[in-house]
Amino acid sequence: MENFFIGMIFIFLNFNFTVSNHVVGLIPTFVGYIFVKRGINEFEGKVPAFAKIENFSKIMIAVSIVIYIMDFLAVNIGAMYFVVSVVMMAANIYTSFNITEGILWLEENKNVNILGSDLRRMWKISIIALCASTVTVFIPLLNIIAVLAYFVCCALFLVAFNKTKNAAADHYLY
């Protein structure tokens, strides 16, 4: 669970340092997908939701590296940047959904309480906040509020994930 938790930090939090047009991601998404892949490997295909995203995580490592390099080199792709951002957002949602569902599967099939329902609730709230921040992108004041709400929801999701990780540490789930 530790690898999933670290992966979610890198996937959900996005801090950049910009110089001129060059963007350096301080928390690169591809590192998050590497940790997700390591988390998937720990379960050796035994959890259906994790197995479902095994190849997807490999693809996302490569795609995230390409995007990271393009940002660093200030490659301008114009309007395609918005499309790429939406696709990456969808990939992050898909990945976090399957990790959350895998945790719920573990809870049910191993007959343990690792706070999966709390994690799912916080996941849903954070996704609603993410959608709100995306929909309001062209309404500046509303977007600032939505982005702040999303940041808070991400933090709460990560806190819930940490609690799940800690609860899972008391059980042998592999």
Contacts of 79 (CB under 8 A, 6+ apart): none
- In angstroms, the CA 112 to CA 116 distance is 10
Please check the confidence at residue 57 and state whether its pLDDT lies above 90: yes
Question: How high is the pLDDT of residue 84?
Answer: 93
Task: Tell me the pLDDT tens digit for each residue of 71-90.
Answer: 899 998 888 988 998 999 99
pLDDT of residue 1: 94
pLDDT tens digits for range 93-124: 999 999 999 999 999 999 999 999 999 999 99
| C-alpha distance from residue 101 to each of 49, 62, 63, 125 (Å) | 6, 24, 24, 15
**pLDDT value of position 129:** 96
Within 13 A of 15's CA, how many CA atoms are on the CB side? Answer: 6
pLDDT surpasses 80 at 174: no
Summarised one tens digit per residue, pLDDT across range 113-169 is 999 999 999 999 999 999 999 999 999 999 999 999 999 999 999 999 999 999 999
Average pLDDT over residues 48-61: 97
Q: Are 27 and 15 in contact (CB under 8 A)?
A: yes
Distance CA 67, CA 64 (A): 5
> Among 13-17, 66-70, 101-105, which is the least confidently predicted range?
13-17
Task: Indicate the pLDDT class of residue 68, thresholds 50, 70 and 90.
Answer: very high
CA angle 45, 41, 55 (to 5 degrees): 75
Residue type, position 67, single letter? I
Burial class (CB in 10 A: 0-12, 13-18, 19+), 80: exposed
Question: Domain coordinates of the chain in residue numbers?
Answer: 2-168
Q: Which of 35, 31, 29 is nearest to 16 (CA)?
A: 29
pTM over 0.85: yes
